[in-house]
Amino acid sequence: MARQQYVAAIQAYQEDPTTSAVIFNKIGMAYHHLFAMDSARRNYLHALKLRPNYPEALNNLAAVYYARKQYHKAEKLYRKAIQLAPKSAAVYSNLGTDYFAEHKPELGIEALRTAFALDPRVFDANAGELVSESLPARDRAAQDYCLARLYAQSGHKDQALEYLRRALNEGFDDKKKLLEDQQLASLRATPEFAQLMTEQKLR
């Protein structure tokens, strides 16, 4: 799995005699990475049959529905996973992404803020038993702008600049908001911000 050799991973997991919920969840993840969503879903459901209150499998099953643009179903499963694992920054992050996809940015921002409070590294981390979500470029631009604000507010200027760069590259173009946003005030005082604005031809 770590080497992204997903077919080999599936074969290796299927040879495991334990056939535990964890194994079925990992097989589901391997299929998920191969975009074989029906097989991924079947294995996540098998994991949940063995362990109904398995938050990682619930998260990953939600990710299947998210991939199919069944955002409300995904939201319900993410919420159930959070009830079982209230300290899981990764699940909160996925819930936030789902809210952005549902065009509920206020709820998305709140979920991302919670994820960040639980683990400031969550947006760059790759949790071992969890599938992470992504958005179309335009929605991702709004999400990455929110992440830039979160990092700037907490004093993580390098990460804030990186997410701001991503947001701009993905189509964020509200120059007035960018130059007046109070949460970005400390960032605007840096030469790196000025350089980014020059690169993006926004000054």
Residues 49-77 pLDDT 10s: 999 999 999 999 999 999 999 999 999 99
Res 4: pLDDT:
83
Least confident of 86-95, 116-125, 132-141, 158-167: 132-141
DSSP SS3 for 132: coil
User: Is residue 128's pLDDT more than 60?
Assistant: no
Cβ neighbours for 42, distance < 8 A, ≥ 6 positions apart: 28
Residue with token string 């964020």: 172
User: Is residue 126's pLDDT more than 60?
Assistant: no
pTM confidence score: 0.80
> Does 199 or 26 have the greater pLDDT score?
26
Residue with token string 């939600």: 62
DSSP SS3 for 176: helix
Share of the chain above pLDDT 70, in %: 92
Res 121: pLDDT:
83
Confidence at 178, pLDDT banded by 50, 70, 90: confident
Question: What tokens appear for 27 in the block?
Answer: 């097989």
DSSP SS3 for 127: coil
